[in-house]
């Protein structure tokens, strides 16, 4: 699995996020991200969990809304290493 931590993820609608943590839960990859500005010079403190979804060989993402999943992700997002 590729470690995408600290990378920028660019979405199809041009939104950009920086990946703070990468998590794997039930074989799915999730990212704890914060939005960054278009110039990629500033972190906007707009946090989210997004899930990476592979479909027809392409990568998509969806914002995590399931409380059960969110609970697990929140519990296991450890920022102590920074």
Partner 1 sequence: MKIEEYAKQKEVSVDNVVKMMNRLGLTTNEEGLSEDTVASLNQEFRKQDYLNRLEALHSYIPQELIDRQKELIEKISKDKNSCEKMIAQLENKLKTHKYDQYNEQENLELRTLIRTYKTQMSTLDVLASTISGNRESISLDEELIEEEKERQAELQNVIDTFSVELREEGISDERVSEIRALIEDSRSSITDSKNTVSSLQERIDTLNKSLEDASREHERVKDKAKNLRAEIDEFPDRLRQRDEKELASQKRILESINNNGKYLLYNPDEKLKTIIAQYEKGFLKESELKESLIEFKNNFYTTYATELDDQFENQKRLSEIKERREAINLEIIELQTFIDERRANEKYMSDSAFVEEYLDSRVSNSKRDIEEEIDDAKKSIENNEEYRVLLDKNIADVDKEIRQVKKEIEKAIAQKDSETNINALNNRLEKLNEHKAYYQEFAVLLVNEKKEKEACITEKSEQLSKLNSRERDVVLGALGIKELTSTSVKREEEIAFKQGQINSLKSELSRLDREEQLASVVFGNELDELINDIEEEKENKKVIPVPIVEKEEDKKKDEEVVVAPLVDENVDEKEDEKEDEVVVAPIEEEEEKEDKLIPIVAFKESKLGKSIANIKGKALDWIREHKKVIAAVLAGGIMITALVSNFGACSMLDHTGDEAKLNHDIFVVHDSPYNGCNCNMQTVDDIDDVVHFNSPVADHSSSYTPSGSTHVNPQTPDTSIGNPTVDDTSISDRGEMSPGDNLDTGEKPGLVPDDDTNNNNDDNDKDNDKDEPTPERDMWHAHLGTAADAGTDQAIDETLETVDDNGNVQTVHPNDTQNDVPSDLVSSGDGNFETPKDRDDNVAKTPSAPQEETPQEKLDDIEKDLNLGGMSDDDLDKLVQQQSASTISQDNAQQINDLNELKSQIVQSTENSMESGMTR
Residues making contact with partner 1 (CB under 8 A): 1-2, 4, 6-13, 18-20, 24-27, 32, 34, 36, 40-49, 52-55, 57-63, 65-68, 70-71, 74-79, 82
Nearest approach in angstroms of CB 73 to partner 1 is 9
- Determine the Cα–Cα distance for residues 17 and 6; give it in Å rounded to an integer: 10
Nearest approach in angstroms of CB 72 to partner 1 is 9
Q: What is the DSSP string of 21-66?
A: EEEEETTEEEEEEEEE-TTS--EEEEEEEEEEEEETTEEEEEE---
Nearest approach in angstroms of CB 57 to partner 1 is 6
């Amino acid at each position: 699995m590729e470690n995408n931590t600290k990378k920028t993820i660019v979405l199809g609608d041009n939104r950009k996020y920086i990946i703070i943590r990468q998590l794997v839960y039930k074989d799915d990859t999730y990212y704890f991200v914060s939005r960054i500005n278009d110039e990629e010079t500033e972190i906007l403190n707009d946090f989210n969990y997004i899930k990476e979804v592979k479909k027809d060989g392409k990568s998509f993402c969806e914002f995590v809304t399931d409380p059960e999943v969110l609970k697990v992700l929140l519990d296991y997002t450890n920022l102590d290493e920074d």
